[in-house]
Structure 1
Amino acid sequence: MKLACRCGQVQGEVDPQRAYARATCYCRDCQAFARWLGGEGLLDAAGGTDIVAMAPDGLRFTRGFDQVTCMSLGPRGLLRWYASCCRTPLGNIPRDSKLYYLGVPVPAIAEPAEAIDAAYGPRGRIAVNAESATGEVESSGLARFVGTLRIVANLLGARLRGRRNVLLFDADGLPLREPLVLDRAERDALTAGS
């Protein structure tokens, strides 16, 4: 499936076979990142971010990698990658390259909604961090359990096989781009009211 930023300078491919689960995250950090990007359409009506959790080797950039950069909401937070040209979110990864995880925001997948649903499952079936939602959220506890189990099983399997994220890290385990790290005041301003 095609990945693209809003202006089209950054492009890539996402392999549905490498997906762990599709979930909507309502955490304050995902909401703050969307506000920081200033993008319309990044959050649903209850403040959720639609994400495909997957193996990092399931994403390949084909164009515009020089426009890909990252930030973090704090010195220990996730590395949140985005297209600097138009501030489109592209992926979230843990700071530790040994955690074989990549969260791809669905707005970066440049395919029709029906194709995305067919490949990754319907939106809203799994809700995480719903206590931070800004509105009513319905989610099946069983779907959340199964989705979490799939993610954890894939992370453990990758760890046992010695896999590490080489998509956005160098050979020493450092991010390919120096992240912009927000200070506490900047982060608090973004999370106020959420």
Structure 2
Amino acid sequence: MTMTLRCRCGAVQGEIDEGRAYVRATCYCKDCRAFARYLGVPGVLDAAGGTDIIPMAPAAVRFTAGQGLVTCMSLSPKGVLRWYASCCRTPLANTPRDPKLPYVGMVTDCFLVTPHQLDAAFGPRGRVVLNTRSAIAPVRATPLAFALGGLRIFAGILGARLRRERASAFFDGSGRPLQAPHVITREERAALS
């Protein structure tokens, strides 16, 4: 079953295979908050400063329009690549720098669905929470869900590696990011904290 993804202005469009999702998670790390502040668009973070993410196989993501508008940044020279639509700064995903690791964390803000449809497809928001100590408001940790979610992510990554899946909407055939990442300076990073 596929789910439509779309940036806020509609220039970037695509779809995901929701059956390839590993789990649903809400991340409260300072880096996810810094990325949301870098984009400057409202509604990305929840009240406690968390970002709703669907970790999945990169081969499950396909852009159908506006791929040239998909760009990325990084909070440090070796940090995660954080992808967004340059046209309207809609967050799209997080990927490791090395495409050999079959993982993409899709930010749910780019899914063209209602909250009810999102919950029906992937479970309720906050089922697996990460980095609760960095939250800006109290958030209850979910240790059992965290452990089970981690196992599902590991199993998904291992399965994709065993299938030798190389396809990624974010990297070219030689393993280079589709767009060279903009790495922000330490001063810019400090301003986003």
Q: Which TM class, normalised by the smaller chain length? A: over 0.9
| Aligned pairs (5 A) from 1:43-122 | 43-122=45-124
Moved more, 136-145 or 174-183: 136-145
Runs of 4+ in 1 over 3 A off after TM superposition: none
Match of 1:124 in 2: 126
For residues 126 and 156 of structure 1, do their structure 2 counterparts lie closer, same or farther at Cα, with a shift above 3 Å needed?
same
- Among candidates 38, 41, 44, match of residue 43 of structure 2: 41
Match of 2:158 in 1: 156
* Cα displacement (A) at 1:165: 4.6
- Where do 5+ consecutive residues of structure 2 fail to align? none
Q: Tell me, yes or no, if structure 1 residue 173 matches structure 2 residue 154.
A: no
| Partners of 2:72 and 2:81 within 8 A in 1 | yes
Where 1:21 maps in the other structure, the secondary structure is coil
- Where do 5+ consecutive residues of structure 1 fail to align? none
Rounded Cα–Cα distance in structure 2 between residues aligned with 1:166 and 1:106:
18
User: Which string of whole-angstrom CA distances, capped at 9 and with x for unpartnered residues, describes residues 77-103 of structure 1?
Assistant: 111110001000011100001100011
Rounded Cα–Cα distance in structure 1 between residues aligned with 2:133 and 2:78:
22
Rounded Cα–Cα distance in structure 1 between residues aligned with 2:173 and 2:4:
27
- Among candidates 29, 32, 35, match of residue 34 of structure 2: 32
The amino acid that maps onto 2:68 is: D
* Cα displacement (A) at 1:37: 0.2
Rounded Cα–Cα distance in structure 2 between residues aligned with 1:64 and 1:161:
29
The normalised TM-score by structure 2 is 0.95
* Cα displacement (A) at 1:144: 1.1
The normalised TM-score by structure 1 is 0.95
The size of the alignment, in residue pairs, is 191
RMSD of aligned alpha carbons: 1.1
Paired-residue identity, %: 58
Rounded Cα–Cα distance in structure 2 between residues aligned with 1:182 and 1:21:
30
